[in-house]
Amino acid sequence: MHDRKEATVYGQTVDNETRCVHYQSRKDIIAIKFYCCQTYFPCYQCHDEHSDHPAQVWPKQNFGDKAILCGVCQNELTIHEYLGCNSTCPKCSSPFNPGCQLHYHLYFEIEK
C-alpha cells in the first residue's frame, strides 16, 4: 500500500491519463505544470481557456523543477528529465507524443 498523492490536472480532460479535447492520441499522456500558476494542464489551449492570465514559459534556470506529469503512472518529471527522455516515461516506459516538441517554445525557454 502506498499513499502517493495524484496531481490535479485542470482543463477539459477526457480521460484519467490527461488527454484533453485538443489532444487525444494514444501518446498524448502528459500534463504540463505551467510556470505562471504552478498548475497542471494537458496543453496550452486548456491553460488559455481556463486561466485568467497569459501563460509564461519555464526559465532555463528552473529546468530542474518537476513540471511534467505522466498520465499513465503519475510520475512527475523535471523539465530536464522530460527533454532528455526520448519521448518515453522513464518510470513506466509509456510512449509520449514526440510531436509535443513542436510546442516546446510555448512551455520552456529554448533556443530558437
Strand order from edge to edge, sheet including 76-78: 39-41, 30-34, 66-70, 76-78
In this predicted structure, the answer to whether residue 108 has a pLDDT above a threshold of 50 is yes
pLDDT one-digit tens code per residue, 9-45: 999 999 999 999 999 999 999 999 999 999 999 999 9
Task: Answer yes or no: is pLDDT of 2 > 50.
Answer: no
User: Could you read off the pLDDT of 59-89 as tens digits, one per residue?
Assistant: 999 999 999 999 999 999 999 999 999 999 9
Counted domains in the chain: 1
pLDDT of residue 5: 62
Distance (Å, rounded) from C-alpha 82 to C-alpha 92? 13
Residues ≥6 apart with Cβ < 8 Å to 44: 32, 55, 103, 106, 107
In the predicted structure, residue 1 carries a pLDDT above the cut 50: no
Name the residue range of residue 52's domain.
1-112
Residue 61 and residue 52 in contact, taking contact as beta carbons nearer than 8 Å: no
What is the pTM assigned to this prediction? 0.92
Q: Is 70 helix (H, G, I), strand (E, B) or coil?
A: strand
Q: Confidence class of residue 111 from pLDDT cuts 50, 70 and 90?
A: confident
